[in-house]
Amino acid sequence: MSAREIGLGSARGNLAALRWNEGAPVRVLALHGWLDNAASFAPMAPHLPGLDLVALDLPGHGASAHRAPGHDYVFVDWIHDALDALDALGWDRAVLLGHSMGGGIASLVAAAMPQRVERLALIEALGPIGGRAEDAVARLRQATTARRIADASQSRLSRTLPSLEAAIDARLAASRMTREAAGLIVERNLREVPGGVAWRSDPRLKLPGHVRSDEATVQAWLGAIECPVLVLAADPSPPYFSPSVRDARLHALRDGRCVSVGGGHHLHMEQPEGVARVLLPFLRGEG
C-alpha cells in the first residue's frame, strides 16, 4: 500500500503529509517524534487496514514549512498545527496516534479540544516531558542564551553532508535505532545541495525550550482527556519516560491503559507488524 503525498494549508505555512487508504471509515491523524517525520509511520501503515491514515510532517520537519524567522518552536503551538491539519482535512473528529513528542502533542490536543478526538493512541509518550521547578531558572537562562547565540551566528544554515549514507550515520550517532528505520526518516529530512545533501529540517528544533511544565500540571491536563487512551511503552523504558512517571500519569487518566512491548524507542518502525497488531483494534474502536 503506497502513500500519497499531500499538502495541508495552515495560517503558519504549508503542512506536508503522507496519506494511506484515503476514504477508509476510520480517520487517524499520526504525529511523529522530535526530528522524525511522516515517514516514521510508513513501516506500520500496511498493517493498519481500514484506516484513513494521515501522517503529518510537523513544522520544521520533513517537507513542512519552518516557523517564521525570529520565532521559536513553543510546545503549545504544536496543538494548533494538529488542529489546523484536522481542519484542512475537513475532519471534525478523528483518532490521534502519536509517537514520542507527537504523543505529547496529541495528549494536549485531546485535553484542550476533547470534542475533536475520538480515541488517543500513544507510543512511548503520555503528555509532554515535564520539568522540575528547581530547574526552571537554569532552563530559562540556557534557552535564552542559546537562542541569542543562534541568531547572532546565523546558525540556521544547514551543514553539507557528502551523501545519504553519511547523513544516516550522523542520525545513528545521535539515536539508537535500526539503520533501515533511520534511513526512512533521514531520506525525507534531506535536500540535495551542491557537493552532497543537507538537512531540510529546521536547525532551531535543536535549541533548548524555555519552559517545561511541572508534573502536577501535566497530570491535570491528562485528567481532562475525555476519550479512551492506549499507551504502548517500550521495555526497557527511556529515562525521560520512566515507569514511575508513566504510572502516575496513567493514574491521572479517566480511561487509560498501558501495554508494554519489548523493544527500543522506535518500536513502531522496528517491529511494525507486532505493534500494529496491538494498536489496530483500539484504533478501529473494537477494544
What is the predicted pLDDT for the residue at 140?
Answer: 97
Catalytic status, residue 100: yes
What is the predicted pLDDT for the residue at 151?
Answer: 84
Domain count, the chain: 1
Question: Does 127 reside within a domain?
Answer: yes
Question: Does 141 reside within a domain?
Answer: yes
The per-type count for the chain, helices as H runs and strands as E runs, is 9, 11
pLDDT average per 10 residues of sequence, the chain (287 residues): 91 94 97 98 98 98 94 94 98 98 98 98 97 96 94 69 95 93 96 93 94 96 98 91 94 97 95 98 93
What is the predicted pLDDT for the residue at 158?
Answer: 65
Question: Does 193 reside within a domain?
Answer: no
Which residue among 100, 107, 201, 213 is the active-site one?
A: 100
Domain CATH for 30: 3.40.50.1820
Question: Does 228 reside within a domain?
Answer: yes
What is the predicted pLDDT for the residue at 11?
Answer: 87
Give the whole-angstrom CA distance, residue 148 versus residue 137. Answer: 17
Q: Cα 124–128–131 angle (5° rounding)?
A: 120
Strands 94-99, 26-31: pairing is: parallel
What is the predicted pLDDT for the residue at 40?
Answer: 98
What is the predicted pLDDT for the residue at 153?
Answer: 77
Domain that holds residue 58: 4-153+213-283
Question: Does 200 reside within a domain?
Answer: no
Secondary element (H or E) of residue 94: strand 94-99
Question: Does 185 reside within a domain?
Answer: no
Strand order in the sheet with 160-161: 160-161, 196-199, 190-193
Question: Does 206 reside within a domain?
Answer: no
Question: Does 31 reside within a domain?
Answer: yes
